[in-house]
Amino acid sequence: MPIAPATASAARFRELLDPERVIEHPLERKLYARDGSITEGKCGLVVLPETRDEVCRCVQMASELRLAVVPRGSGTGLAGGAVPLDDAVVISLARMNRILDIEPEVPCASVEPGVLNLDISMAVSHLGLHYAPDPSSQAACSIGGNVATNSGGPHCLAYGVTAQHVLGLEMVTADGEVLELGGPAPDPPGFDLRGLAVGGEGTLGLVTKVCVRLTRNPPEVRTMLLDFDSVTAGAATVGGIIAAGVVPAAMEMMDQKMNVAVEAFVGAGLPVDAATVLLVEVDGTPAQIAAEAALVDAVGRKHGAREVRVAADEAERQLLWKARKSAFGAVARVAPNYYLHDCVVPRTHLVGVLEEIGNIAERHDLVIMNVFHAGDGNLHPLIAFDRRDVKQVERVHAAGKEIIEACMAVGGVLSGEHGIGLEKRDFMSLQFGEVDLRAQADARCAFDPEGLLNPLKVLPAGSRCGEVALSRDSLPPGTWL
């Protein structure tokens, strides 16, 4: 049976929710047809449930009417995961934004999916605790979105990505039932379905509650900015620091083009004449910090660091982090649009891949700016472009594909944290063989046999049950900006 458009179903959802929580105005629907990526879909209807039971009823209604369902958090995703296609119904979890319970002795917190990442840390700071994964979008993105994409962030180098900080989940399945996955016990029995659900990108169910691990604040933190005359020297320093036995709390890199844009935006005193800068943070006891900072300083200078600036106080530290976390926004000073991939490459290949990205930019006559989680080799080459220039957009796509191929050629992986969504699903076969893809499609079908949850996402066209109903080999025309 084909999947139906949700446009004509508003009245049915008004039987379930207050009328103002069912959005059908075309302009508002258009807003929900985008996320932070360069894809745009067609949104049939938006519903805003406020409780788990309302989510169950909305999903049951969608199933009864055979409507595709797209779960949505804050819409900051960079892979098109929350972009609805074929007039799907968007279920926004943004209004489920309560912190339900904090247990300092575990320590953990139970939160609704629409709670913003940063709000968790703010709510527990008086207890000397925080939520460790810190995407640069943490002031805007939701914990539900973080779980669905298995988000990372600068401090995930030492502390681990979202999967390591989700103890338990509550998830509404495709037929509107409620599943409890995992929990605060250290080794929950049964299959680890929680592990499967983290990174599910809304294709396995709708997350309605998350039990997150909280992390004790370190006694002390030191933040350093090292600048170099060459990208090679900066990248060699990254490998050198890890080889010397120090895993910093964070180790981020920005190239010159990015520094110039960020400095004009934030004014953090970044050395705009440097080829690259490394932002390194170490944390721990004062003795540990002193030893690790000395080592970072020594390795950096050995590889030619021109200066090692140490943040003198918390205000300066915050300013340096503001600079790093404003990088994507700063691209707006260069061009109105950006397109990025977040492949991960082995650290030993950082230099070669960065050089190749430079060559790709030159070949396609494009501006590519680099800012990335250097410690774990998670690249973020941002192609700055203007979507109104059709010819340029063609070159952007060609360059994006070549960047992915260059990363895969050295043993890299497709995504370190942004997920696959729409943007990368057709590249999945570069990383996975037929058997791997089939196993993933089988797991997905076990949760959603009708293929109604976030169709056409993550797995290449035709690889999942129910998808034939859409009878599409490729994405609808106009999906790419």
Residues 6+ apart with CB under 8 A from 463: 437, 438, 440, 441
Q: Which amino acid type is present at position 292? A: E
Instruction: List, in sequence order, every residue forming a beta bridge with 211; answer none if it has no partner.
Output: 110, 168
Residue 83's CB: how many other CB atoms inside 10 A?
30
Q: Which is nearer to ligand FAD, 34 or 303 (CB)?
A: 34
Quick note: the x/- pattern for ligand FAD over 323-362, rule CB under 6 A, is -----x----------------------------------
Q: Which of residues 386-445 bind ligand FAD (CB under 6 A)?
A: 417-418, 421
Quick note: the x/- pattern for ligand FAD over 6-45, rule CB under 6 A, is -----------------------------xx---------
If we measure between CA atoms, which residue out of 198, 210, 248, 1 comes closest to residue 119? 210
Q: Which is nearer to ligand FAD, 209 or 222 (CB)?
A: 209
Q: Which of residues 283-302 bind ligand FAD (CB under 6 A)?
A: none
Token pair recorded at residue 6: 């949700």
Candidates 144, 168, 271, 451: give the one binding ligand FAD (CB under 6 A): 144
Token pair recorded at residue 4: 């139906």
Shortest Å, Cβ 219 to ligand FAD: 25
Q: Which is nearer to ligand FAD, 215 or 454 (CB)?
A: 454
Q: Which of residues 198-227 bind ligand FAD (CB under 6 A)?
A: 201-202, 206-207
**Contact present, 414 and 424 (Cβ < 8 Å):** yes
Torsion angles phi and psi, residue 205, rounded to 5 = 170, 175
Candidates 4, 6, 61, 78: give the one binding ligand FAD (CB under 6 A): 78
Shortest Å, Cβ 276 to ligand FAD: 19
Q: List Cα–Cα distances, 133 to 154, 249, 433, 448, in angstroms.
A: 8, 11, 31, 29
Q: Which is nearer to ligand FAD, 145 or 168 (CB)?
A: 145
Q: Which is nearer to ligand FAD, 176 or 202 (CB)?
A: 202
Does 82 bind ligand FAD (CB under 6 A)? Our answer is yes
Sign of CA dihedral 137, 116, 223, 163: negative
d(CA 475, CA 481): 12
Sign of CA dihedral 445, 451, 456, 461: positive
**Contact present, 383 and 398 (Cβ < 8 Å):** no
Shortest Å, Cβ 131 to ligand FAD: 13
Does 136 bind ligand FAD (CB under 6 A)? Our answer is yes
> Which residue carries 């892979």 as its tokens?
79
Helix then strand then coil, % of the chain, to nearest 5: 40, 20, 40
Does 77 bind ligand FAD (CB under 6 A)? Our answer is yes
Token pair recorded at residue 71: 């779960």
Q: Which is nearer to ligand FAD, 76 or 215 (CB)?
A: 76
Binding-residue total with ligand FAD (CB under 6 A): 37
Q: Which is nearer to ligand FAD, 209 or 349 (CB)?
A: 209
Does 93 bind ligand FAD (CB under 6 A)? Our answer is yes
Q: Which residue is nearest to ligand FAD (CB)?
A: 145
If we measure between CA atoms, which residue out of 443, 389, 379 comes closest to residue 415? 379
Stretch that binds ligand FAD, among 11-19, 144-152, 249-257, 381-389 (CB under 6 A): 144-152
SS3 for 239-256, per residue?
HHHHHCCCCCCEEEEEEH
Does 146 bind ligand FAD (CB under 6 A)? Our answer is yes
Shortest Å, Cβ 202 to ligand FAD: 3
Q: Which is nearer to ligand FAD, 130 or 364 (CB)?
A: 130
Token pair recorded at residue 63: 């199933």
Bond preceding residue 107 cis, omega within 30 of 0: yes
Q: Which residues contact ligand FAD by CB under 6 A?
A: 35-36, 70-78, 81-82, 93, 113, 135-137, 141-142, 144-146, 148-149, 151-153, 201-202, 206-207, 328, 417-418, 421, 454
